[in-house]
Homo-oligomer: A and B are copies of this chain.
Amino acid sequence: MPPKDDFDLHAFLPYLLNQAAEASSLGFQASYKGRYGMLRTDWRVLFHLGIHGRMTAKDIGERAKIHKTKVSRAVQRLADRRFLTRERDESDRRSEFLELTQAGQAAYRDLRAIAQEYEARLTARFSAEDTVLLKRLLVELAR
């Protein structure tokens, strides 16, 4: 019979990170899924384009650390909804420049506002210093 054990799973960092990430993702998803029928990858791509403007799928993948097939399919979905346009790069015809349309920009601004609200709600329970520290440590861990 397996004996009890004092290893604390709830103090295991990868486990904790997953729980927190899951909870916050679901919470945020609840905010935007109703509005546009978007997947997580979709809004990430939308945000990158909203923030940086015109860029290629490859650049998005690198910056956001999303695999190219995921980016490709998210771009397709966003293009289907007329949230972005594709334009072949004539100096290197393998890649294409992506750019938000008016509708895409509007959706981005809308979602950005929701994101900022959500962020505020999440961090409201922490002191400003704690929040800064938390983010610093998370950035460290992400590398």
Cα distance A7–B11 in the bound complex, in angstroms: 33
Given A2-B49, A9-B48, A54-B2, are A20 and B138 neighbors across the interface (CB < 8 Å)? yes
Cα distance A14–B137 in the bound complex, in angstroms: 14
Given A51-B5, A100-B2, are A139 and B18 neighbors across the interface (CB < 8 Å)? no
Contact in complex: B118, A14 (CB < 8 Å): yes
Copies of this subunit: 2
Among A25, A123, A142, max chain B CB count under 10 A is at A142
Given A14-B28, A130-B137, A142-B23, are A7 and B112 neighbors across the interface (CB < 8 Å)? yes
Instruction: Determine whether A39 belongs to the interface, using a CB cutoff of 8 Å to chain B.
Output: no
* Residues from chain B with Cβ under 8 Å of A52 in the complex: 4-5
Cα distance A9–B53 in the bound complex, in angstroms: 14
Within 8 A of B (CB), among A32-72: 44, 47-54, 65
Extra 9 A-B pairs, beta carbons < 8 Å, given A9-B47, A17-B138:
A2-B100, A4-B52, A14-B122, A15-B44, A17-B21, A19-B138, A23-B141, A23-B143, A126-B140
